[in-house]
Amino acid sequence: MKRVVVTGVGVYSPIGTSYTAVDESLRNRRSGIRYMPEFEALDGINSHVAGVVEGADPMRIARKYRRSMGRVAQLMALATMDAVADAGLDPDRLSDPRIGLSMGSTMGSGSALEEIFLQFAKERTVRGHKSTSFLQVMSHTCAANMALMFSIRGRIYAPCTACTSSSQAIGFAYEAIQAGYQDMMLAGGAEEMHWTSVATFDVMQGTSYNFNDRPHLASRPFDADRTGLVVADGSACVILEELERAKSRGTKIYGEIEAFHTNSDGYHMSSPSTDGMRACMEGALAAGGLSPKDIDYINAHATATPLGDRAEAGAIRAIFEDKTPVSSTKSYTGHTFGACGAIETVFSLAMINKGYLAPTLNLESVDPECEGIDHITDVRDVAPRRIMSNNFAFGGVNTSLVIKKYEG
Protein backbone atom coordinates (compact mmCIF):
# COMPACT_ATOMS: atom_id res chain seq x y z
CA MET A 1 0.00 0.00 0.00
CA LYS A 2 1.19 3.51 -0.85
CA ARG A 3 1.85 6.05 1.89
CA VAL A 4 -0.19 9.26 1.68
CA VAL A 5 1.04 12.65 2.87
CA VAL A 6 -0.35 16.19 3.04
CA THR A 7 1.64 18.65 0.95
CA GLY A 8 -0.62 21.70 0.88
CA VAL A 9 -3.39 23.26 2.97
CA GLY A 10 -5.97 25.99 2.53
CA VAL A 11 -8.55 26.96 5.13
CA TYR A 12 -11.35 29.50 5.57
CA SER A 13 -12.86 29.31 9.03
CA PRO A 14 -14.50 31.57 11.63
CA ILE A 15 -11.12 31.72 13.43
CA GLY A 16 -8.97 32.53 10.44
CA THR A 17 -8.40 32.20 6.72
CA SER A 18 -4.91 30.73 6.70
CA TYR A 19 -2.94 27.97 8.38
CA THR A 20 -1.01 30.56 10.41
CA ALA A 21 -4.16 32.41 11.48
CA VAL A 22 -6.01 29.31 12.71
CA ASP A 23 -2.91 28.14 14.56
CA GLU A 24 -2.71 31.47 16.39
CA SER A 25 -6.42 31.40 17.24
CA LEU A 26 -6.21 27.87 18.63
CA ARG A 27 -3.18 28.74 20.74
CA ASN A 28 -4.70 31.97 22.02
CA ARG A 29 -8.16 30.51 22.74
CA ARG A 30 -9.81 32.92 20.30
CA SER A 31 -13.47 32.16 19.57
CA GLY A 32 -14.98 32.83 16.15
CA ILE A 33 -18.60 32.93 17.30
CA ARG A 34 -20.48 36.22 16.98
CA TYR A 35 -23.91 37.68 17.59
CA MET A 36 -26.20 37.77 14.53
CA PRO A 37 -28.64 40.70 14.85
CA GLU A 38 -30.43 39.66 11.65
CA PHE A 39 -31.64 36.49 13.37
CA GLU A 40 -33.79 38.63 15.68
CA ALA A 41 -36.17 39.24 12.77
CA LEU A 42 -36.74 35.51 12.21
CA ASP A 43 -39.87 34.41 14.01
CA GLY A 44 -39.38 31.49 16.38
CA ILE A 45 -35.61 31.16 16.09
CA ASN A 46 -34.01 31.01 19.53
CA SER A 47 -30.34 30.90 18.57
CA HIS A 48 -28.93 34.30 17.60
CA VAL A 49 -25.26 33.38 17.24
CA ALA A 50 -23.15 31.87 14.46
CA GLY A 51 -19.63 31.27 13.26
CA VAL A 52 -19.02 33.21 10.05
CA VAL A 53 -15.94 33.41 7.82
CA GLU A 54 -14.71 37.00 7.60
CA GLY A 55 -12.56 38.35 4.78
CA ALA A 56 -13.37 35.84 2.04
CA ASP A 57 -12.97 37.68 -1.26
CA PRO A 58 -14.83 35.90 -4.09
CA MET A 59 -13.41 38.39 -6.59
CA ARG A 60 -10.20 36.34 -6.48
CA ILE A 61 -12.11 33.73 -8.49
CA ALA A 62 -12.29 34.32 -12.24
CA ARG A 63 -15.80 35.34 -13.28
CA LYS A 64 -16.16 32.47 -15.78
CA TYR A 65 -15.95 30.07 -12.83
CA ARG A 66 -17.56 32.25 -10.18
CA ARG A 67 -20.90 32.62 -11.98
CA SER A 68 -21.83 28.98 -11.30
CA MET A 69 -20.83 29.19 -7.62
CA GLY A 70 -22.89 30.08 -4.58
CA ARG A 71 -21.10 31.05 -1.37
CA VAL A 72 -20.42 27.41 -0.45
CA ALA A 73 -18.50 26.75 -3.68
CA GLN A 74 -16.78 30.14 -3.49
CA LEU A 75 -15.43 29.24 -0.04
CA MET A 76 -14.31 25.89 -1.44
CA ALA A 77 -12.60 27.60 -4.38
CA LEU A 78 -10.69 30.03 -2.15
CA ALA A 79 -9.41 27.24 0.11
CA THR A 80 -8.47 25.10 -2.89
CA MET A 81 -6.62 27.96 -4.60
CA ASP A 82 -4.60 28.49 -1.41
CA ALA A 83 -3.86 24.77 -1.00
CA VAL A 84 -2.72 24.41 -4.61
CA ALA A 85 -0.40 27.41 -4.24
CA ASP A 86 0.85 26.16 -0.86
CA ALA A 87 1.79 22.81 -2.40
CA GLY A 88 3.77 24.56 -5.12
CA LEU A 89 1.50 23.27 -7.88
CA ASP A 90 0.75 25.00 -11.17
CA PRO A 91 -3.07 25.41 -11.19
CA ASP A 92 -3.03 25.13 -14.98
CA ARG A 93 -1.31 21.74 -14.92
CA LEU A 94 -3.63 19.61 -12.81
CA SER A 95 -5.36 17.79 -15.68
CA ASP A 96 -3.12 14.71 -15.43
CA PRO A 97 -5.48 11.70 -15.13
CA ARG A 98 -3.42 10.60 -12.11
CA ILE A 99 -4.67 13.68 -10.22
CA GLY A 100 -8.20 13.55 -8.81
CA LEU A 101 -10.55 15.49 -6.59
CA SER A 102 -12.72 14.63 -3.59
CA MET A 103 -14.88 17.35 -2.01
CA GLY A 104 -18.11 17.34 -0.06
CA SER A 105 -20.78 19.50 1.50
CA THR A 106 -24.11 18.95 3.20
CA MET A 107 -25.97 20.76 0.43
CA GLY A 108 -25.51 23.50 -2.13
CA SER A 109 -25.79 27.22 -1.49
CA GLY A 110 -28.55 28.04 1.00
CA SER A 111 -28.79 31.65 -0.11
CA ALA A 112 -29.13 30.64 -3.77
CA LEU A 113 -31.74 28.04 -2.83
CA GLU A 114 -33.75 30.67 -0.93
CA GLU A 115 -33.65 33.03 -3.90
CA ILE A 116 -34.77 30.35 -6.35
CA PHE A 117 -37.69 29.04 -4.35
CA LEU A 118 -38.91 32.45 -3.26
CA GLN A 119 -39.23 33.26 -6.92
CA PHE A 120 -40.95 29.97 -7.73
CA ALA A 121 -43.27 29.91 -4.73
CA LYS A 122 -44.26 33.58 -4.54
CA GLU A 123 -44.31 34.62 -8.17
CA ARG A 124 -45.08 31.26 -9.79
CA THR A 125 -42.80 32.05 -12.69
CA VAL A 126 -39.50 31.00 -14.15
CA ARG A 127 -39.02 34.30 -15.97
CA GLY A 128 -35.74 35.86 -14.96
CA HIS A 129 -34.53 32.58 -13.50
CA LYS A 130 -30.75 32.31 -13.98
CA SER A 131 -29.43 29.38 -15.99
CA THR A 132 -26.63 28.89 -13.44
CA SER A 133 -28.93 28.63 -10.41
CA PHE A 134 -29.06 24.84 -10.25
CA LEU A 135 -25.27 24.67 -10.49
CA GLN A 136 -25.12 26.70 -7.28
CA VAL A 137 -27.57 24.55 -5.31
CA MET A 138 -26.83 21.00 -6.47
CA SER A 139 -25.40 18.78 -3.76
CA HIS A 140 -22.10 18.22 -5.58
CA THR A 141 -21.57 21.91 -6.40
CA CYS A 142 -18.18 22.04 -4.65
CA ALA A 143 -16.71 19.02 -6.42
CA ALA A 144 -18.16 19.90 -9.82
CA ASN A 145 -17.08 23.54 -9.74
CA MET A 146 -13.57 22.69 -8.55
CA ALA A 147 -13.20 19.98 -11.19
CA LEU A 148 -14.04 22.55 -13.86
CA MET A 149 -11.93 25.32 -12.35
CA PHE A 150 -8.81 23.14 -12.15
CA SER A 151 -9.46 21.00 -15.27
CA ILE A 152 -9.44 17.78 -13.22
CA ARG A 153 -9.51 14.61 -15.36
CA GLY A 154 -8.84 11.99 -12.69
CA ARG A 155 -11.29 10.48 -10.23
CA ILE A 156 -13.92 12.73 -8.67
CA TYR A 157 -15.78 12.01 -5.44
CA ALA A 158 -18.52 14.20 -3.94
CA PRO A 159 -19.65 12.85 -0.55
CA CYS A 160 -22.89 14.43 0.64
CA THR A 161 -23.19 12.94 4.13
CA ALA A 162 -23.83 16.03 6.26
CA CYS A 163 -21.24 16.35 9.04
CA THR A 164 -19.01 13.59 7.61
CA SER A 165 -18.94 14.95 4.04
CA SER A 166 -15.40 16.33 4.08
CA SER A 167 -13.92 13.68 6.36
CA GLN A 168 -15.24 11.03 3.96
CA ALA A 169 -13.86 13.13 1.09
CA ILE A 170 -10.39 13.04 2.66
CA GLY A 171 -10.74 9.37 3.55
CA PHE A 172 -11.84 8.33 0.06
CA ALA A 173 -9.03 10.40 -1.47
CA TYR A 174 -6.56 8.70 0.87
CA GLU A 175 -7.83 5.27 -0.16
CA ALA A 176 -7.59 6.14 -3.87
CA ILE A 177 -3.90 7.05 -3.48
CA GLN A 178 -3.13 4.25 -1.04
CA ALA A 179 -4.47 1.67 -3.50
CA GLY A 180 -2.53 3.19 -6.40
CA TYR A 181 -5.49 4.52 -8.40
CA GLN A 182 -4.33 8.15 -8.14
CA ASP A 183 -1.04 9.88 -7.29
CA MET A 184 -2.55 13.09 -5.95
CA MET A 185 -5.96 14.24 -4.76
CA LEU A 186 -7.39 17.65 -3.94
CA ALA A 187 -9.60 16.87 -0.94
CA GLY A 188 -11.83 18.76 1.46
CA GLY A 189 -15.22 20.35 1.88
CA ALA A 190 -17.21 23.50 2.51
CA GLU A 191 -20.42 24.77 4.08
CA GLU A 192 -22.36 28.00 3.87
CA MET A 193 -23.96 29.46 6.99
CA HIS A 194 -27.60 30.25 6.26
CA TRP A 195 -30.54 31.01 8.52
CA THR A 196 -32.40 27.92 7.31
CA SER A 197 -29.73 25.72 8.87
CA VAL A 198 -30.19 27.52 12.17
CA ALA A 199 -33.96 27.12 11.88
CA THR A 200 -33.64 23.41 11.12
CA PHE A 201 -31.68 22.68 14.27
CA ASP A 202 -33.74 25.13 16.32
CA VAL A 203 -36.87 23.14 15.47
CA MET A 204 -35.05 19.99 16.59
CA GLN A 205 -34.07 21.73 19.86
CA GLY A 206 -30.44 21.31 18.96
CA THR A 207 -29.02 24.86 18.93
CA SER A 208 -27.27 27.00 21.52
CA TYR A 209 -29.62 29.69 22.81
CA ASN A 210 -28.61 30.50 26.38
CA PHE A 211 -25.56 32.63 25.57
CA ASN A 212 -26.90 34.90 22.83
CA ASP A 213 -25.67 37.92 24.78
CA ARG A 214 -22.19 36.37 25.19
CA PRO A 215 -21.52 34.65 21.85
CA HIS A 216 -17.96 33.62 22.69
CA LEU A 217 -19.43 31.35 25.39
CA ALA A 218 -22.14 29.83 23.20
CA SER A 219 -20.28 26.80 21.83
CA ARG A 220 -19.51 24.57 24.83
CA PRO A 221 -19.04 20.87 24.02
CA PHE A 222 -19.21 18.42 26.95
CA ASP A 223 -20.27 21.23 29.34
CA ALA A 224 -23.22 20.73 31.68
CA ASP A 225 -24.77 24.04 30.53
CA ARG A 226 -24.73 23.32 26.79
CA THR A 227 -28.02 23.36 24.92
CA GLY A 228 -26.82 22.63 21.41
CA LEU A 229 -24.61 23.57 18.51
CA VAL A 230 -23.71 26.89 16.92
CA VAL A 231 -24.19 26.93 13.15
CA ALA A 232 -21.13 28.04 11.18
CA ASP A 233 -19.61 28.14 7.73
CA GLY A 234 -16.15 27.50 6.37
CA SER A 235 -14.03 25.44 4.02
CA ALA A 236 -10.73 23.61 3.88
CA CYS A 237 -8.70 21.80 1.25
CA VAL A 238 -5.72 19.52 1.72
CA ILE A 239 -3.48 18.28 -1.08
CA LEU A 240 -2.93 14.55 -0.58
CA GLU A 241 -0.01 13.04 -2.41
CA GLU A 242 1.72 9.69 -2.70
CA LEU A 243 4.86 9.91 -0.57
CA GLU A 244 7.46 9.11 -3.23
CA ARG A 245 5.91 11.61 -5.63
CA ALA A 246 6.00 14.30 -2.94
CA LYS A 247 9.62 13.50 -2.13
CA SER A 248 10.59 13.68 -5.80
CA ARG A 249 9.09 17.18 -5.96
CA GLY A 250 11.03 18.24 -2.87
CA THR A 251 7.91 19.79 -1.42
CA LYS A 252 7.21 20.33 2.28
CA ILE A 253 5.13 17.70 4.06
CA TYR A 254 2.65 18.68 6.78
CA GLY A 255 1.86 15.18 7.94
CA GLU A 256 0.68 11.74 6.92
CA ILE A 257 -2.80 10.24 6.71
CA GLU A 258 -2.21 6.89 8.39
CA ALA A 259 -5.67 5.35 8.68
CA PHE A 260 -9.32 5.90 7.88
CA HIS A 261 -12.55 4.12 8.68
CA THR A 262 -16.19 4.87 7.98
CA ASN A 263 -19.25 2.89 8.97
CA SER A 264 -22.98 3.10 9.61
CA ASP A 265 -24.88 2.77 12.88
CA GLY A 266 -27.87 1.11 11.22
CA TYR A 267 -29.80 2.42 14.19
CA HIS A 268 -31.61 5.78 13.91
CA MET A 269 -31.88 8.76 11.58
CA SER A 270 -30.88 11.40 14.14
CA SER A 271 -30.07 9.75 17.49
CA PRO A 272 -26.36 9.00 17.95
CA SER A 273 -25.10 5.50 18.67
CA THR A 274 -22.26 4.91 21.10
CA ASP A 275 -21.79 1.44 19.63
CA GLY A 276 -21.48 2.81 16.08
CA MET A 277 -19.00 5.48 17.13
CA ARG A 278 -16.95 2.95 19.04
CA ALA A 279 -16.88 0.55 16.08
CA CYS A 280 -15.71 3.35 13.80
CA MET A 281 -12.80 4.33 16.05
CA GLU A 282 -11.85 0.69 16.51
CA GLY A 283 -12.00 0.26 12.73
CA ALA A 284 -9.56 3.12 12.22
CA LEU A 285 -7.18 1.65 14.78
CA ALA A 286 -7.36 -1.75 13.09
CA ALA A 287 -6.81 -0.22 9.64
CA GLY A 288 -3.59 1.39 10.87
CA GLY A 289 -2.45 -1.60 12.91
CA LEU A 290 -2.67 0.60 16.00
CA SER A 291 -3.68 0.23 19.64
CA PRO A 292 -5.42 2.89 21.76
CA LYS A 293 -2.12 3.84 23.41
CA ASP A 294 -0.73 4.87 20.00
CA ILE A 295 -3.16 7.81 19.81
CA ASP A 296 -1.85 10.94 21.52
CA TYR A 297 -4.95 13.11 21.15
CA ILE A 298 -8.56 12.87 19.96
CA ASN A 299 -10.14 15.80 18.14
CA ALA A 300 -13.71 14.91 19.04
CA HIS A 301 -16.72 15.58 16.85
CA ALA A 302 -18.54 16.90 19.95
CA THR A 303 -20.91 19.56 18.62
CA ALA A 304 -22.37 20.52 22.04
CA THR A 305 -25.64 18.69 21.57
CA PRO A 306 -26.65 16.89 24.79
CA LEU A 307 -27.10 13.44 23.27
CA GLY A 308 -24.23 13.56 20.79
CA ASP A 309 -21.56 14.57 23.28
CA ARG A 310 -22.64 11.91 25.76
CA ALA A 311 -22.61 9.18 23.12
CA GLU A 312 -19.15 10.15 21.89
CA ALA A 313 -17.75 10.48 25.40
CA GLY A 314 -19.05 6.99 26.15
CA ALA A 315 -17.45 5.55 23.01
CA ILE A 316 -14.10 7.20 23.75
CA ARG A 317 -14.24 6.05 27.37
CA ALA A 318 -14.88 2.46 26.30
CA ILE A 319 -11.73 2.38 24.14
CA PHE A 320 -9.28 4.90 25.59
CA GLU A 321 -10.53 5.25 29.19
CA ASP A 322 -9.01 8.45 30.62
CA LYS A 323 -5.55 7.93 29.14
CA THR A 324 -5.87 9.94 25.90
CA PRO A 325 -6.41 13.73 25.86
CA VAL A 326 -9.66 14.86 24.23
CA SER A 327 -11.05 18.21 23.12
CA SER A 328 -13.50 19.64 20.61
CA THR A 329 -12.30 22.46 18.39
CA LYS A 330 -15.93 23.21 17.50
CA SER A 331 -15.86 25.23 20.71
CA TYR A 332 -13.84 27.75 18.66
CA THR A 333 -15.68 27.68 15.35
CA GLY A 334 -19.15 26.32 15.90
CA HIS A 335 -20.31 23.46 13.70
CA THR A 336 -19.34 23.83 10.04
CA PHE A 337 -21.24 20.67 9.06
CA GLY A 338 -19.90 19.42 5.72
CA ALA A 339 -16.66 21.36 6.16
CA CYS A 340 -15.81 20.29 9.70
CA GLY A 341 -13.78 17.17 8.88
CA ALA A 342 -11.47 19.07 6.54
CA ILE A 343 -11.17 22.12 8.80
CA GLU A 344 -10.38 19.91 11.79
CA THR A 345 -7.78 18.04 9.73
CA VAL A 346 -6.00 21.37 9.22
CA PHE A 347 -6.33 22.11 12.95
CA SER A 348 -4.86 18.69 13.74
CA LEU A 349 -1.91 19.28 11.40
CA ALA A 350 -1.24 22.62 13.11
CA MET A 351 -1.15 20.96 16.53
CA ILE A 352 1.14 18.19 15.29
CA ASN A 353 3.60 20.60 13.69
CA LYS A 354 3.50 23.34 16.32
CA GLY A 355 3.59 20.99 19.33
CA TYR A 356 0.49 21.69 21.43
CA LEU A 357 -3.05 20.52 22.14
CA ALA A 358 -5.95 22.98 21.87
CA PRO A 359 -8.55 22.87 24.65
CA THR A 360 -12.32 22.68 24.61
CA LEU A 361 -13.34 26.28 25.21
CA ASN A 362 -16.08 27.04 27.75
CA LEU A 363 -15.82 23.63 29.42
CA GLU A 364 -16.50 24.95 32.91
CA SER A 365 -18.41 22.06 34.41
CA VAL A 366 -18.21 18.67 32.72
CA ASP A 367 -21.54 16.94 32.18
CA PRO A 368 -21.44 13.93 34.56
CA GLU A 369 -22.30 11.67 31.61
CA CYS A 370 -19.24 12.99 29.74
CA GLU A 371 -16.80 12.26 32.55
CA GLY A 372 -14.21 9.51 32.59
CA ILE A 373 -12.12 10.86 29.70
CA ASP A 374 -9.16 13.25 29.75
CA HIS A 375 -10.76 16.60 28.89
CA ILE A 376 -8.35 19.38 27.86
CA THR A 377 -9.44 22.69 29.37
CA ASP A 378 -6.31 24.74 28.71
CA VAL A 379 -3.61 24.72 26.05
CA ARG A 380 -1.17 21.88 26.65
CA ASP A 381 2.38 22.20 25.40
CA VAL A 382 2.54 18.57 24.35
CA ALA A 383 3.73 17.45 20.92
CA PRO A 384 1.26 14.85 19.59
CA ARG A 385 2.61 12.24 17.17
CA ARG A 386 -0.75 10.78 16.19
CA ILE A 387 -4.19 12.39 16.25
CA MET A 388 -7.54 10.73 15.75
CA SER A 389 -10.15 13.08 14.29
CA ASN A 390 -13.78 11.98 14.61
CA ASN A 391 -16.90 13.10 12.76
CA PHE A 392 -20.42 11.72 12.99
CA ALA A 393 -23.52 12.57 10.94
CA PHE A 394 -27.29 12.18 10.73
CA GLY A 395 -28.27 8.84 9.28
CA GLY A 396 -25.69 7.12 11.47
CA VAL A 397 -22.68 7.89 9.28
CA ASN A 398 -19.37 7.78 11.18
CA THR A 399 -15.77 8.58 10.26
CA SER A 400 -12.42 8.44 12.02
CA LEU A 401 -9.17 9.68 10.49
CA VAL A 402 -5.72 9.04 11.98
CA ILE A 403 -3.26 11.81 11.15
CA LYS A 404 0.42 11.24 11.91
CA LYS A 405 3.50 13.42 12.16
CA TYR A 406 5.67 12.84 9.12
CA GLU A 407 8.91 11.16 10.15
CA GLY A 408 10.41 10.09 6.83
- Backbone phi and psi for residue 79, each to the nearest 5 degrees, phi listed first: -65, -40
Catalytic residue selected from 48, 142, 160, 163:
163
Q: Do β-strands 184-191 and 234-242 pair in parallel, antiparallel, or remain unpaired?
A: antiparallel
Query: What would the mean pLDDT of 17-27 be, rounded to a whole number?
Result: 98
**Cα-Cα-Cα-Cα dihedral sign, residues 98, 104, 108, 111:** negative
pLDDT tier at 127, thresholds 50, 70, 90: confident
Query: What would the mean pLDDT of 104-114 be, rounded to a whole number?
Result: 92
> Residue 351 pLDDT more than 90?
yes
Q: Give me the amino acid identity at 130.
A: K
pLDDT tier at 123, thresholds 50, 70, 90: confident
In this structure, are residues 340 and 391 in contact, taking their beta carbons and an 8 Å threshold?
yes
Per-residue confidence (pLDDT) for residue 156, from 0 to 100: 98
In this structure, are residues 304 and 223 in contact, taking their beta carbons and an 8 Å threshold?
yes
> Residue 124 pLDDT more than 80?
no
Residue 163 a catalytic site member: yes
Mean pLDDT of the chain: 96
Model confidence over 159-168: pLDDT tens digits?
999 999 999 9
Query: What would the mean pLDDT of 100-119 be, rounded to a whole number?
Result: 90
Counted residue by residue, the chain has a size of 408
The C-alpha atoms of residue 54 and residue 24 are separated, in whole angstroms, by: 16
pTM: 0.97
Query: What would the mean pLDDT of 364-381 be, rounded to a whole number?
Result: 98
pLDDT tier at 118, thresholds 50, 70, 90: confident
Q: How many other C-beta atoms lie within 10 A of the C-beta of residue 310?
A: 18
Residues β-bridged to residue 390: 400
> Residue 130 pLDDT more than 90?
no
pLDDT tier at 158, thresholds 50, 70, 90: very high
Query: What would the mean pLDDT of 109-120 be, rounded to a whole number?
Result: 85
The C-alpha atoms of residue 380 and residue 157 are separated, in whole angstroms, by: 37
Per-residue confidence (pLDDT) for residue 133, from 0 to 100: 85
> Residue 128 pLDDT more than 90?
no
Q: Give me the amino acid identity at 235.
A: S
Per-residue confidence (pLDDT) for residue 212, from 0 to 100: 97
Per-residue confidence (pLDDT) for residue 122, from 0 to 100: 76
Question: What DSSP state is assigned to residue 183?
Answer: S
**pLDDT over 70 percentage in the chain:** 100
The C-alpha atoms of residue 391 and residue 375 are separated, in whole angstroms, by: 18
Residue 301 a catalytic site member: yes
How close are the terminal C-alpha atoms of the chain, in Å? 16
- Backbone phi and psi for residue 231, each to the nearest 5 degrees, phi listed first: -70, 140
> Residue 309 pLDDT more than 80?
yes
Per-residue confidence (pLDDT) for residue 177, from 0 to 100: 98
Which helix H or strand E contains 176, and what residues bound it? Answer: helix 165-178
Catalytic residue selected from 261, 335, 340, 370:
335
Model confidence over 286-298: pLDDT tens digits?
999 999 999 999 9
Q: Which of 6, 4, 2, 7 is nearest to 251 (CA)?
A: 7
> Residue 121 pLDDT more than 80?
no
Per-residue confidence (pLDDT) for residue 129, from 0 to 100: 74
Provide the 3-class DSSP secondary structure of residue 228: coil
In this structure, are residues 199 and 110 in contact, taking their beta carbons and an 8 Å threshold?
no
Residues β-bridged to residue 366: 223
Per-residue confidence (pLDDT) for residue 393, from 0 to 100: 97
**pLDDT over 90 percentage in the chain:** 91
> Residue 120 pLDDT more than 90?
no
pLDDT tier at 142, thresholds 50, 70, 90: very high
Per-residue confidence (pLDDT) for residue 269, from 0 to 100: 86
The C-alpha atoms of residue 220 and residue 224 are separated, in whole angstroms, by: 9
Residues β-bridged to residue 15: none
> Residue 78 pLDDT more than 90?
yes
Catalytic residue selected from 48, 261, 301, 375:
301
SS3 of the chain: helix, strand, coil, percent, to 5: 40, 20, 40
State the burial class of residue 97 (Cβ atoms within 10 Å of its Cβ: 0-12, 13-18, 19+): exposed
The C-alpha atoms of residue 273 and residue 285 are separated, in whole angstroms, by: 19
Residue 140 a catalytic site member: no
Q: Which residues contact 66 (CB under 8 A, 6 or more apart)?
A: 58, 74, 77
pLDDT tier at 262, thresholds 50, 70, 90: very high
User: Is the model more confident about 209 or about 122?
Assistant: 209
Q: Which residues contact 196 (CB under 8 A, 6 or more apart)?
A: 110, 113, 114
